[in-house]
Amino acid sequence: MKNKYINHSHISEKKFREVLKHFSKDFTAEQTAGLTNISRISVNRLYAQFRIRISELLRVSGNLDGEVEVDESYFGARRVRGKRGRGAQGKVPVVGLLKRHGKVYTQIISNCSKEELMPILRGKILSKSTVYTDGWRSYDGLITSGYKHYRIHHSENEFARGKNHVNGIESFWSYAKRRLLKFNGIHKSKFLLHLKESEFRWNMRINRVNMYPELLKNFREKSL
């Protein structure tokens, strides 16, 4: 019988649903292969297709407004002892934007300069929003760009002052790094897809959306 979720498939629709269900529960490809009796190669292929579709879905997500937290983080090998701050060698820099009590948006960046960050913020955050950042100088100019801007100065051991904090986006960083650890290293060519998967999972959880039926519906509407 034709698999309505995937074109030219050698895997049954039932097995496809099984794999997607385990993927939605955040099982690794190795775990799913063992549970479904499908080869690891086939499961990896499906997982890659799932992640590509997720990244496509995220491209059409809307802009952020209201109260938005902004921060950058670095992904990759552990920091070298004594190395602190932005620009750790060998790591992938990522900027994150999080609407308080709402969704997160992430983007890989080449550096944390003002020239790199400001176009992203202006393109993703609606004007007149309230933006919370740390004291990094690259965020200078947010007020003149039409935002209300509040800073928290981590360099002065300040981490929260009333509503002035970036605890939300820092919680996302912790979540993303914890879940990526289970892959025991991710090649840089695949990092973006894994990052976007973490973003998608966070947004599903925050909005209390069941990931499995949501993805199943999407794949039904547009087969792989």
pLDDT one-digit tens code per residue, 69-109: 999 999 986 555 555 555 566 799 999 999 999 999 999 99
Which ranges constitute the DSSP H helices of 60-187?
114-124, 167-181
pLDDT score at 61: 84
Task: Identify the H or E element spanning 95.
Answer: strand 92-99
How many whole angstroms separate alpha carbon 213 and alpha carbon 57? 15
Strand-pair category, 92-99 with 104-108: antiparallel
Give the mean pLDDT per block of 10 residues along the chain (224 residues): 76 93 96 96 95 93 95 79 58 96 96 96 96 94 94 69 87 96 88 97 92 91 73
Task: Identify the H or E element spanning 219.
Answer: helix 211-221
Residue where the block lists tokens 């840089």: 188
CATH of domain 67-175: 3.30.420.10
Amino acid at 124: K
Instruction: Kindly tell me the number of DSSP H helices and DSSP E strands found in the chain.
Output: 7, 5
Task: Identify the H or E element spanning 77.
Answer: none
pLDDT score at 6: 82
Domain ranges for the chain? 13-60+207-221, 67-175
Closest of 73, 44, 60, 57 to residue 190, by C-alpha: 44
Phi–psi pair at 96, nearest 5 degrees? -125, 140
pLDDT score at 7: 77
* pTM over 0.95, yes/no: no
Exposed e or buried b for every residue in 160-181, given b needs 16+ CB within 10 A? eeeeebbebbbebbeebeeebe
pLDDT score at 79: 53
CA distances from 35 to 24, 48, 180 (A): 14, 18, 21
Phi–psi pair at 212, nearest 5 degrees? -60, -55
